Copies of this chain bind each other. A is one copy, B any other.
């Protein structure tokens, strides 16, 4: 009888907890969808401020705006964390053309972030098309010297995860110039990381590493339609010349900030849970999906907790990271300060994959912690949240990684993300209010569960 009583007690207790969790999730989703704030915040960030490249006036405005908005929420602490960031400017609009026998054809390009400018008056040269960096070695200096290297490996369309397709191509953009210059190339043009055929060039970071400034060559992205056109023209006439002019400029590092707000935990204030996105964006669009969405969703997590009357046991902190796009200085600085202060971070969640319908999360954590997450799956089913897999989390929270913390990334539907990523059409109108709000609610729900149940501390292995 005693055993039975205990069993009965336990099952009632578990049932009660499940019921409380179901209620809390329902309250969170309803509040986000009926009385959400994320969309209005994004409207301001996108339409009143706009693109927020690190070191720009807009980035500074975004810092002030989000700080002020967090202060309105009645959090326990709101502060700025100083961080030095690189400052690069595109300068005037790029000009590009293809010189064919039947005349000059204008092409849509944009400078890659971090590229040097072309020399005054631009460059014009023959083009050598390749499918990737490996081709350079096969072609050799003979065939590359004095030419523009045109990287034209498309994203693989039959991968279901567009991020996987991106991962299979982005080396061309990041390292294309520094590799091509070794063979005497005078510039590079890279096919935009876009699965759709359109006229938008997509920017993104590139690096020269230790190449001396005077040896650097300019690097541009070309739209997918442009890449197809250029490729066809080269088949017709391999001597076709391509010309482009870019005005970009690299400045000295400047002061900027991570924006941080927190609710102090009622039971375990020294156990810190963070939720964040990055406040900087590329300059071509207004950065609505990348990563305005993640910023406002992260802010909304704390607001939804307050709005639904939930008082966290642990300290819940929102961190709006500066400079994810071209330096990751904000993420690194945050982790550095956390370490200096001896802060104990137990869970970190990042939203940086667009404001689309949420499908679930990807986790970077121990098997024990992942098992706990899997035990929560049923709670998410009514909200069509089904994706719980091990994998990456987020760039900004990566520097916090140790063997204790659980890192996670929100995984929204990825099909449309690269239609907009780093391009002039990453704009507010491409974000659906409900999809954004569902993402915020999904994040809040996971943060709530980690706050309530904590993480699983791994058993010490005897040495």
* A270 contacts chain B at the CB level, 8 A cutoff: no
Copies assembled:
2
Q: How far is A384 from B359 in the complex, measured between Cα atoms in Å?
A: 9
- A34 to B157, Cβ gap below 8 A? yes
Q: Report 18 cross-chain contacts, Cβ distance below 8 Å, ordered by A residue.
A: A33-B157, A33-B158, A34-B157, A34-B158, A160-B383, A160-B384, A160-B438, A196-B433, A357-B357, A357-B413, A357-B415, A384-B386, A386-B386, A386-B387, A413-B413, A416-B432, A416-B435, A419-B432
* A231 contacts chain B at the CB level, 8 A cutoff: no
Looking at the assembled complex, report how far the CB atom of A130 sits from the nearest CB atom of chain B, in whole angstroms. 22
- B29 to A382, Cβ gap below 8 A? no
Q: Nearest residue in B to A30 (C-beta to C-beta)? A: B158
Q: How far is A159 from B160 in the complex, measured between Cα atoms in Å?
A: 28
* A195 contacts chain B at the CB level, 8 A cutoff: yes
Q: How far is A435 from B356 in the complex, measured between Cα atoms in Å?
A: 13
* A434 contacts chain B at the CB level, 8 A cutoff: yes
Chain A residues within 8 Å of B, Cβ to Cβ: 29-30, 33-34, 157-158, 160, 162, 195-196, 357, 359, 382-384, 386-387, 413, 415-416, 419, 432-435, 438
Looking at the assembled complex, report how far the CB atom of A223 sits from the nearest CB atom of chain B, in whole angstroms. 16
- B158 to A29, Cβ gap below 8 A? yes
Q: Which one, B157, B162, B196, B384, contacts A387 given CB within 8 A? A: B384
Q: How far is A433 from B416 in the complex, measured between Cα atoms in Å?
A: 9
Looking at the assembled complex, report how far the CB atom of A107 sits from the nearest CB atom of chain B, in whole angstroms. 23
The interface centre, meaning the residue of A29, A158, A196 with most chain B CB atoms within 10 A of its CB, is: A158
Q: Which one, B160, B382, B413, contacts A160 given CB within 8 A? A: B382
The interface centre, meaning the residue of A29, A384, A419, A438 with most chain B CB atoms within 10 A of its CB, is: A384
On chain B, the residues within 8 Å of A162 by CB distance are 434
Q: 8 shortest A-B CB distances, which residue pairs?
A: A30-B158, A386-B386, A33-B158, A415-B434, A33-B157, A415-B435, A357-B413, A34-B157
On chain B, the residues within 8 Å of A432 by CB distance are 415-416, 419
Looking at the assembled complex, report how far the CB atom of A456 sits from the nearest CB atom of chain B, in whole angstroms. 26
Q: Nearest residue in B to A359 (C-beta to C-beta)? A: B384
On chain B, the residues within 8 Å of A382 by CB distance are 160
Looking at the assembled complex, report how far the CB atom of A378 sits from the nearest CB atom of chain B, in whole angstroms. 13
